[in-house]
Amino acid sequence: MLLGKTVKELKEMIDKKEVTAEEVFSFFHERIEKYNKTLNAYLTVQQKGTNTAPGVLSGIPLAIKDNFCTTGVRTTASSKVLDDFIPQYESTVTGHLKDAGYELLGKTNMDAWAHGSSTETSDYGATKNPWDITRSPGGSSGGTAAAVSAYLAPAGLGSETAGSIRQPASWSGVVGLKPTYGRVSRYGVIAMGSSLDCPGPITLSVEDAATIFQTIAGNDPFDATSSPLPTEDYVKGMKEKKTYTIGIAEEYFEGLDDDVKNALDTSIKIFEKLGFKTKKVSLLSPQYSISVYTIIQRAEVSSNLARYDGIRYGNPRTHFGSEAKRRSMLGTYTLSYGYYDAFYKKAQKVRTLIINDFKRAFKEVDFIIGTPSPITAIKLGDFEKYPFFGELMDKFNEPGAMAGIPGINVPVGLDRNGLPIGMQLMANYFRETDLLNAAYQFEQETDFMGVIKKGVLNFK
Amino acid sequence: MSDKIKLSKEEVLHLAKLAGLTLTEAEIEKNSAQLAETIDYIQNLDELKTEGVAPTNSVVDLSNVTFEDGTKNTRGLTQVEATANGKNVKENAFAVDRMM
């Protein structure tokens, strides 16, 4: 009865007293007990719901990535350094979810410190893709994406530095929204790249993404980089019939797998059918964003990971895994005397070029269409073969992440192996309403929920 | 900067020391190759002209974000909370090795 229901549908059932909040929680808890051994999507599982706050999410259990501090509930960021860390305070976003009545279902696996695109760098083992358990669900928010995809949660929270929401959403066949940097508070989120990090929802429908985004977005006095601009009514705004101009940039169609390319071509036709216009635009090659991202993110990583001294909380620095060490050292290198100008400052300047480039493009078009990943889910273990592979695979997400603009992944079908393909729209700063609007129209037109639910029902 | 960068064992160990990290022999080996490979790649930025371009520190257009005077601190931790996760805590204070 409950299998595959969206947050919205579950909430309606609870409100109509067709099901109780306890029953909903038990339903997911039982599924987790049954399937998590296979998927390894959750690191910590809650035994029961305790939140009685009335709100738009009351009775709705959610999966939360393990880098959000949750008071009294172990939070590891999938690193042994934080193996026994119990936060004494709540992240702003999970606090908002609490106020809206949500239940914490559990904390989900991720790449350790969010360093990676496959969950394979997790110190607690990789998460498996529910569509094919020999494959990666993507990452770093792979645990949440897999949990939602296998319906071990109706929705959840991920966080993105460059691709960590959109790419796992794409590989796992679910919706993932990466908001504008600063739209959602970073307070209480274990930091990776502080000038990039951005929490966002991973869901089964665009409307659920809008609802959760609505709940977590807004200014936070405890995050000095959070935007003071007012939020909008995203759910309402999403449903107004509008047409937009979609930008097609050749640079974002390079090196795509044939099936992915065909799915994007089909998506463009669907948008045209909806009355959208399309226009060719040219953008700076994502190749440069890979470098800018690598330099700036590693620099911020080396600074953020410096705080783990094993004295105030957590284990000593000897507990860091290989990837965290590699990133810290590269960051240390590019920030070193003699290299700072050549690498870090240069990257900051190119970051300006990337921002200007998007601003120019968004004068002509409303969105840039593309995909979060040039390929579909790869076999577990394949990332390890190529040290730089993750960054290359995330090249379509890195430019937007460097600029801080929002993007959304929506599933657009399956490839020849039956694996989900994701389509991505990127928009100008704070244009989440429009982004959700276009994605919602696309969803109504294509019923890609059918595709997603096939995945949910297939996983046994 | 077009020459292939190589990182010696000493350089890798120096970086590890600066970052407060300990490396296994295998990690030293692996990192000197992989760090060099990455550093090699990121030099493609030299293809772009950035003279006169201002660096971006943050994408949000904000500066000097402060609390209003008199704002109540609602998220401060008590001493017990602040030391709750410490491995070596004595009388609600962190105990550390002697510095001198």
| Closest among A162, A170, A133, A142 to A38, alpha carbons compared | A133
Whole-number pLDDT of residue A391? 73
The first and second tokens of residue B12, run together, are: 């890798």
What is the number of alpha carbons within 13 Å of residue A199 lying toward its C-beta?
Answer: 31
Is A145 a residue whose pLDDT tops 50? yes
Instruction: Kindly identify which residue of chain B lies nearest to residue A294, measuring between CA atoms.
Output: B42
pLDDT, tens only, A189-205: 999 999 999 999 999 99
What pLDDT, on a 0 to 100 scale, did the predictor assign at position A150? 96
Distance separating alpha carbons of residues B29 and B7, to the nearest angstrom: 10
Domain span holding position A371: 7-458
Task: Give per-residue burial for A301-329: e unless 16+ CB within 10 Å, then b.
Answer: bbbbbeebeebbbbbebebbbbbbbbbbb
- Specify the residue for token string 């200007």: A356
A217-251 confidence digits (pLDDT tens)? 999 999 999 999 999 999 999 999 999 999 999 99
Q: Which of residues 46-65 of A touch B (CB under 8 A)?
A: none
Residue in chain A lying closest to B17 (CA): A329
Of A315, A332, A347, the CB nearest to B18: A332
In this structure, the number of other CB atoms found within 10 A of the CB of residue B31 comes to 26
Return the pLDDT at A376: 96
Cβ contacts of A423 within 8 Å, gap of 6 or more: A263, A264, A267, A369, A370, A371, A409, A410, A411, A412, A442
Domain boundaries, chain B: 1-47
Q: Do A288 and B39 touch (CB under 8 A)?
A: no
Backbone angles phi, psi at A379, to 5 degrees: -65, 145
Q: Which residues of A touch B67 (CB under 8 A)?
A: 221
Q: Which CATH code is given to the segment(s) B1-47?
A: 1.10.20.60
Alpha-carbon span A175 to A170, nearest angstrom: 8
The tally of domains found in chain A comes to: 1
Residue A281 pLDDT > 60, yes or no?
Answer: yes
* Chain A residues touching B45 at Cβ < 8 A: 288, 291-292, 295, 346-347, 350
| Alpha carbon distance B43, A84 (integer Å) | 40
Mean pLDDT calculated for residue range A370-384: 93
Across residues A154-158, what is the average pLDDT?
98
Give catalytic residue positions of A: 65, 140, 164
Q: Is A2 inside any structural domain?
A: no
- Residue with the larger pLDDT of the pair A159 and B33: A159
Q: Round to whole Å and give the CA distance between A46 and A235.
A: 30
Q: A223: domain CATH number?
A: 3.90.1300.10
The alpha carbon of B98 is separated from its chain's Cα centroid by a whole number of angstroms, namely: 25
pLDDT band at A388 (very low <50, low <70, confident <90, very high): low
Read off the pLDDT of residues B33-63 as tens digits, 9 standing for 90 and up.
Answer: 889 988 999 999 999 999 999 999 999 888 8
Cβ within 8 Å, pair A195-B62? no
Task: Check residue A386 and give its pLDDT.
Answer: 64
Nearest Cβ partner for A312 among B59, B60, B94: B94
User: Average pLDDT, stretch A127-147?
Assistant: 97
Nearest chain A residue to B56, by CA: A348
Give the CA dihedral B83, A93, A195, A356, nearest 10 degrees.
-170
B57/A195 Cβ within 8 A? yes
- In this prediction, residues A101-112 reach a mean pLDDT of 98
pLDDT higher than threshold 60 for residue B3: no
Residues A221, B71: C-beta atoms closer than 8 Å: yes
Residue A330 in tokens = 């590269």
Residue A314 forms part of a structural domain: yes
Q: How far apart are the first and last CA of chain A?
A: 16
- Return the pLDDT at B1: 44
Q: What's residue A384's pLDDT?
A: 74
The answer to whether residue A387 neighbours chain B at the CB level (below 8 Å) is: yes
> Cβ of B86 and A313 within 8 Å?
yes
**H-type helices in A275-387, by residue range?**
286-304, 322-334, 346-364
In a domain, A417, yes or no: yes
The alpha carbon of residue A317 is apart from the nearest alpha carbon of chain B, in Å, by 6
The pLDDT value recorded for residue B2 is: 44
Chain A residues lying within 8 Å of B79, measured CB to CB? none
Tell me the count of A-B CB pairs closer than 8 A: 146
What are the b/e assignments for A333-352, b being 16+ CB within 10 Å? bbbeeebeebbbebbbbbbb
Q: What is the pLDDT of residue A387?
A: 59
A332: helix, coil or strand?
helix
> Would you place residue A279 in the very low, low, confident or very high pLDDT band (cuts 50, 70, 90)?
very high
Whether the bond into A26 is cis, omega within 30 of 0: no
Q: What percent of chain A has pLDDT over 90?
A: 92
